[in-house]
Amino acid sequence: MTDTRDAERPPLQLWAGLEPTVNRVHDRQMDQLALTGTDRRPEDMDRLADLGVQAVRFPLLWERTAPRGLSGADWRWGDTRLRRLQARRVQPIVGLVHHGSGPLGTDLLEPSFVSGLVAYARAVARRYPDITAYTPVNEPLTTARFSALYGHWYPHARSEAACWLALKHQLMATVLAMRAIREVQPAAQLIQTEDLGRTFSTPDLAAQADFENERRWLSLDLLCGAVTPDHPLWAHLRAAGASERDLWWFAEHACAPDVLGLNVYVTGERFLDSRVDRYPPHTHGGNGHAIYADVEAVRVCGAAHGGPAARLAETHARYGRPMALTEVHLDCTREEQLRWLWQAWHAAQDARERGADVRAVTAWAAMGACEWNSLLTRQDGHYESGLWDVRAPRPRPTALARLARALGSGSPPPPLATGTGWWARPVRHLYPVVGDPGHEEPEHDQDRAGAPLVVVGPEGALRQTLIRHCTLRGLRVLLTPSFPAHSCTSPVPWAVVHLPAPGVVRTARACAAQRLPLLTFSGAAVYRAAPEGALHRHVLVPDGQAALDHAVLRHWSQALVIRPGAGRRRAEEQPITRHFPLGLAGPGRPVPALRGAAEDLDQLLKTSLNLLIDGETGLWEIGCGSAGQEIRRGSQATMAEPAPYL
């Protein structure tokens, strides 16, 4: 029997978000919108709307709009993009500060941060009175920790007292900003986000884990007015410098979020272990009393870890308020990104069935993100793609965009989305067993019941490397010497890979007959590896190879032909790819060639599989070099993804 409450409740919504952090390290600000090009592409709003989303977390950031004060505020960027969202009937959830400390003249440790942000919030509400959803400060506790406890970001403080001060100012600004906004728009809702990853530990560090797990709720508890003398952290906050007046101010000015925004990351859950000799030195830390390793819980064999489902359940139990998953993103290979978003969506659906009021799931970092591998402390050129890969003249939609559209419309997901993610396979383990491994939850090496990837071609280094990649990525492989026109393979494969070998045109015809995606490689000479696995440094595409590439595409227009990049070639040898490289290489410089190292082959295969999963077709050239990797197709160019597998 259907619960009548379910019939009355609106369906789970799909939201989208742009990674917009403007953080500061000493005197340098790093602007994600500038790094990903979104600040120059108003049409990105239409790309988001095309997903079928109901809302977009929209960054109308203080640092960007009024860097020199409200009198010189430039609203044009926001005006243009908000008009586009309004025309598409997409609700903006406006963020004012995202891991930042305001314009360069402000400081999280100064009361002027509060007054400055409140004045900016009032100006935003007056300019856009129809906006009804706000996140004045994203993840205030996370920002306070990274800026004032660990010293990664400005003002680079390292004390509990500074951490409390940074948190207090951000939350006071949130309360007063919402008051100012509601003077203009009484219906405005507060959607408060926070990273709520849980901490686990060995028994001797249970007290530290308990403290970390209580502290992660602090932003929400303060906003809800729940931090009173009987709160578990009252004494800690008082010792850190919080006055009773400070703490009672939040109880007396409670501003409970209308929606609790949970930001859940697969490596956001931590494990503490005092046996530091079992872990690499960079993981070692402590609390002033004990020394311990602090690592990703998912990496420790035998350690507990959760995920979106667990975090939704405990947040519902603690607050009983409406919730949303406000950041769902994973820096990984494409199929793992698909699996993470799919798992989050179904965790939200399951939580709703158990009575939790879960409103939405947010496909985060839609245009990707930069430099988060170093917590935004360096600029090394690291980019992780999202629903689009922006390393091209126009953002290229990935398979994640296809999945997001499917979630929004209720359509079936793309292949591989329903597989088992690396966080539930033994490949995740880097660290030793904790406790009794016999009591671990069952794990799956890979989804052996899923559709296979058919690999056609002879035994050799290339096939062995491809199989290794597929095993790491949880992709089931079916080896065959040939792929017939009327395959009896069961289950039906999701794609076919034809390694450099005779018969590729025959395979193309067979794939065309069955409408199966096909990946093949141009220039068999490239793969004649030396015994140690090294590749030839410079390989020209043979004259007959270009004709073979085009024959494959003529027989199956949906084939994907990968041509490994070599040195500069005559234009007639590469009629589809452009002669000048783009991206890191820069116009007019030669495309980086395969350097002769086995890691180039790894990168080539990783990128090729990602493109195959994305549904790309045609002839693509991929070149490796010390500066990075480049992909080119026609007039499209993009840097290949350097992210690690797991």
Task: Compute the average pLDDT of residues 345-361.
Answer: 98
Q: What is the reported pLDDT for 393?
A: 83
- Three-state secondary structure readout of 62-114: HHHHCCCCHHHCCCHHHHHHHHHHHHCCCEEEEEEEECCCCCCCCCCCCCHHH
Using the predicted structure, report yes or no on whether residue 576 has a pLDDT greater than 80. no
**100/22 Cα distance (integer angstroms):** 5
Question: What is the CATH number that goes with domain 448-639?
Answer: 3.40.50
**12/2 Cα distance (integer angstroms):** 17
Highest mean pLDDT among 6-10, 464-468, 624-628: 464-468
The full set of domain ranges for the chain reads 12-203+216-267+306-408, 448-639
Residue 200 is inside which H or E element, if any?
Answer: strand 199-201
Both structure tokens of 335: 């199929």
Neighbouring residues of 585: CB distance < 8 A, sequence distance ≥ 6: 591, 592, 623, 625, 627, 630
Both structure tokens of 108: 């999280």
423-462 pLDDT tens trace: 999 999 999 877 544 444 444 444 555 899 999 999 988 8
Task: Compute the average pLDDT of residues 20-29.
Answer: 94
Confidence of residue 634 (pLDDT cuts 50, 70, 90): very low
Confidence of residue 191 (pLDDT cuts 50, 70, 90): very high
Query: Which 3 state secondary structure label does DSSP give 358?
Result: strand
Q: What is the reported pLDDT for 575?
A: 27
Query: Which 3 state secondary structure label does DSSP give 306?
Result: coil
Q: Which CATH number fits domain 12-203+216-267+306-408: 3.40.50.2300, 3.90.650.10, 3.20.20.80, 3.90.1150.10?
A: 3.20.20.80
Q: What is the reported pLDDT for 9?
A: 83
Alpha helices in 523-597 (DSSP H): 543-555
12-203+216-267+306-408 and 448-639 share one fold: no
**507/485 Cα distance (integer angstroms):** 7
Confidence of residue 599 (pLDDT cuts 50, 70, 90): low
Query: Which 3 state secondary structure label does DSSP give 149?
Result: helix
**543/153 Cα distance (integer angstroms):** 55
Burial class (CB in 10 A: 0-12, 13-18, 19+), 308: buried
What's the whole-number average pLDDT of the chain? 86
Query: Token pair 């314009």 is at which residue?
Result: 103
Q: Which residue has the higher pLDDT, 579 or 163?
A: 163
Q: What is the reported pLDDT for 1?
A: 36
Evaluate the omega torsion of the peptide bond into residue 481 and state whether it is cis, within 30 degrees of 0. no
Q: Which residue has the higher pLDDT, 53 or 547?
A: 53
**44/50 Cα distance (integer angstroms):** 10
Q: What is the DSSP string of 232-264?
A: TTHHHHHHTT--HHHHHHHHHT----SEEEEE-
**216/166 Cα distance (integer angstroms):** 15
Using the predicted structure, report yes or no on whether residue 359 has a pLDDT greater than 60. yes
Both structure tokens of 386: 């999202």
Q: What is the reported pLDDT for 432?
A: 83
Both structure tokens of 10: 């609106």
**200/196 Cα distance (integer angstroms):** 13
Residue 210 is inside which H or E element, if any?
Answer: helix 206-215
Using the predicted structure, report yes or no on whether residue 537 has a pLDDT greater than 50. no
**141/312 Cα distance (integer angstroms):** 19
Using the predicted structure, report yes or no on whether residue 527 has a pLDDT greater than 50. no
Task: Compute the average pLDDT of residues 33-47.
Answer: 97
Tell me the longest C-alpha to C-alpha distance in the chain: 81
Query: Token pair 């199989």 is at which residue?
Result: 467
Confidence of residue 414 (pLDDT cuts 50, 70, 90): confident
Using the predicted structure, report yes or no on whether residue 638 has a pLDDT greater than 50. no
